[in-house]
Amino acid sequence: IPFQILDPAKNTGRSFLVLKGKSLSQYPQGMLLPFGNQTASELYFLQGCRWASTGPENKVAEYDVVYADSQIEMVPLRVERELVNFWGADDTPNSFLAWWHKNKGAETGLNLLAWPNPRPNVPIQYILFKSEGKAPVPMLFAVTASDTQIPVTALSPKPEKTSKNDTKGWFPVQAGLPDFRGTPLDLSALNQALVSEKYWGMEQSQEVT
């Protein structure tokens, strides 16, 4: 899913939206995003939050999608469900880790929330990004709209979560296992090992092993 991130050098030093939270009480409660009376089958939000000290059952922010006929569809944002903390970001049940970066040992990231529009044929006037003013500080980096529902890949940007199924370079081996007796894999040798300052061993009796 492509996103266009605003260049702060070309936008008076601003690149993304930050709403009010407990730690930033001076920030705005909400912001209006004009949509230009366009239709969309699905909306994709690139988002995150800071100070995510709340449970997944608590709504901390929302997107109000306002249609041309003045009807509204509300998209709830809950930490560890649709929203994720910027520090230690990962997948959630309802969103995907879209961007990940390790900086001096700390993991940071943003999530992608895909929202299927239940009224794809009705033009959208605007989207209201609104905070509940609780501890978490909601952040919105970009929104992408699509006229079709695009499946989001499960491939994660986190290196340890990326699996590969390319078998190029693999070679066949004969079925069965070799005889490991008398090798380091033969753990029975530990039963007779001595315990000293330099070596660990196992003591075996009826009461203790």
Model confidence pLDDT, tens digit, residues 112-146: 999 999 999 999 999 999 999 998 999 999 999 99
Contact 33, 128 (CB under 8 A): yes
- Non-local CB neighbours of 147 within 8 Å, separated by 6+ positions: 39, 40, 41
Tokens, residue 184: 């380091």
Residue 186, pLDDT score: 59
Distance CA 36, CA 123 (A): 8
Q: What is the mean pLDDT of residues 186-206?
A: 53
Which among 17, 23, 19 is positioned nearest to 135, based on CA atoms?
Answer: 23
Distance CA 65, CA 72 (A): 5
Instruction: Give the tens place of pLDDT for each residue, 7-39.
Output: 999 999 999 999 999 889 999 999 999 999 999
Q: What is the mean pLDDT of residues 189-195?
A: 55
Give the pLDDT band of residue 199 (cuts 50, 70, 90): very low
Higher-scoring residue by pLDDT: 80, 176: 80
Q: Phi and psi (nearest 5°) for 202?
A: -130, 135
